[in-house]
């Protein structure tokens, strides 16, 4: 029932490259394929430049490529996503619109996360409550219609509509701004419904700007934390082996150094 529709985009990976190269009064272009004469992938030096920009968080060149989407989702999803900075947002307003509302109906109901104050895990069998949910949303719609029939302004009548009411908006922004949103909302511990929207946008953005999107993925601070944690875990495992928990024949001096490192890490 949620929808993410592509509207428009401007720029390519080359836009990012040339926004950076202009600092030195330089620019680049697409390499030409000998046989077809069509655009090919970036030149190797431009590919390296994009990786460098992402690695060192030189973000302004990524701000010269844009995209726009038309999103349809329930209010509770929209109110999570609207928090992201640097993305333009224009939403349908029930101050002006009183057409029949639609309501979001989940395919399944998730359980509360056992170890977090937010989030969810597993599936809950709600039994007859699924039908009750439909009744309750129908009741709010009936009350809404009654208020409008009495002459109440739509801007007040909308108060009785639940957060499951569907809304829609235009969402536009730069390559780096959309990547920041997706990096946060695609994480495994985010709300599934917001993740669905972010996944769809990320798929579009990767198709428009494949080199830039991949570089931003590799070097985004959130992703780097996960990568560093993984690399540290591998290093600790290797140190344990050197220490002698697996390889007792290792040189004693090296084992003692490994033991000291593990102790300093609190992983002895």
* Three-class secondary structure of residue 5 per DSSP: strand
Same domain, 96 and 166: yes
Which stretches of the chain are assigned E, i.e. beta strand? 3-10, 66-74, 87-91, 109-112, 120-124, 166-174
Ranges under pLDDT 50 in the chain: 34-35, 38, 246-247
Residues 64, 47 share a domain: yes
Question: 73 forms bridges with which residues in the sheet?
Answer: 167
- Tokens representing 85 are 């900075």
Q: Which of 94, 158, 185, 255 is catalytic?
A: 185
Take residue 64 and report the two structure tokens written for it: 């010269």
* Residue written as token pair 């997706």: 182
Cβ 82 vs Cβ 89: under 8 Å: yes
How far apart CA 135 and CA 145 sit, in angstroms, is 15
The answer to whether residues 212 and 229 belong to one domain is no
Where among 183, 204, 219 does a domain terminate?
A: 219
CB 87 within 8 Å of CB 177: yes
Main-chain phi, psi angles of 60, to 5 degrees: -60, -35
- What is the per-residue pLDDT for 185? 95
Do residue 103 and residue 39 come from a single domain?
Answer: yes
pLDDT at 246: 47
69 shares its domain with 186:
yes
What is the tens place of the pLDDT at every residue in 29-44?
988 754 455 455 899 9
Q: How high is the pLDDT of residue 64?
A: 97
Q: What is the pLDDT of residue 135?
A: 96
Same domain, 228 and 110: no
Per-residue pLDDT, 81: 97
Cα separation of 197 and 185, whole Å? 9
* Secondary structure tally for the chain: helices H, strands E: 10, 6
The pTM of this model reads: 0.80
Do 7 and 46 lie in one domain? The reply is yes
Alpha-carbon span 265 to 203, nearest angstrom: 39
Q: Is 111 left (phi over 0), alpha (psi -120 to 50) or beta?
A: beta
Pair type for strands 3-10 and 120-124: unpaired
Looking up residue 166, the CATH number of its domain turns out to be: 3.30.1360.170
Claim to verify: residue 104 and residue 212 sit in the same structural domain = yes
Query: CA–CA separation, 22 vs 60, rounded Å?
Result: 12
**Residue 235 Cα to chain centre, angstroms:** 29
Residue 185 designated active-site: yes
Same domain assignment for residues 119 and 8: yes
Cα 138 to Cα 147: distance, rounded to the nearest angstrom: 14
Domain count, the chain: 2
Same domain, 215 and 228: no
Q: Are residues 120 and 189 in the same domain?
A: yes
Q: Which domain holds residue 228?
A: 224-265
> Are the C-beta atoms of residues 28 and 61 closer than 8 Å to each other?
no
Q: How far apart are the first and last CA of the chain?
A: 52
Q: Are residues 123 and 230 in the same domain?
A: no
């Amino acid at each position: 029932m949620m929808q993410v529709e592509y509207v428009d985009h401007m720029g390519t990976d080359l836009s990012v490259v040339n926004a950076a190269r202009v600092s030195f009064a330089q620019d680049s272009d697409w390499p030409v394929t000998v046989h077809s004469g069509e655009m090919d992938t970036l030149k190797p030096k431009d590919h390296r430049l994009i990786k460098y920009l992402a690695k060192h968080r030189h973000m302004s060149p990524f701000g010269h490529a844009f995209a726009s989407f038309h999103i349809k989702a329930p209010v509770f999803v929209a109110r999570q996503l609207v928090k992201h900075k640097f993305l333009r947002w224009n939403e349908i307003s029930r101050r002006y619109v009183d057409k029949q509302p639609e309501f979001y109906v989940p395919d399944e109901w998730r359980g509360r996360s056992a170890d977090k104050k937010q989030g969810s895990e597993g599936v809950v069998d709600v039994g007859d409550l699924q039908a009750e949910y439909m009744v309750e949303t129908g009741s709010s719609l009936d009350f809404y219609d009654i208020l409008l029939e009495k002459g109440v302004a739509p801007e007040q009548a909308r108060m009785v509509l639940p957060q499951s009411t569907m809304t829609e908006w235009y969402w536009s922004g730069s390559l780096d701004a959309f990547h920041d949103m997706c990096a946060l909302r695609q994480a495994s511990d985010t709300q599934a419904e917001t993740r669905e929207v972010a996944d769809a946008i990320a798929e579009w953005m990767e198709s428009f700007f494949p080199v830039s999107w991949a570089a931003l993925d590799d070097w985004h601070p959130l992703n780097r934390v996960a990568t560093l944690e993984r690399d540290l875990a591998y290093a600790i495992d290797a140190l344990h082996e050197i220490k002698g928990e697996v390889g007792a024949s290792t040189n004693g001096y090296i084992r003692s150094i490994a033991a000291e490192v593990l102790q300093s890490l609190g992983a002895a």
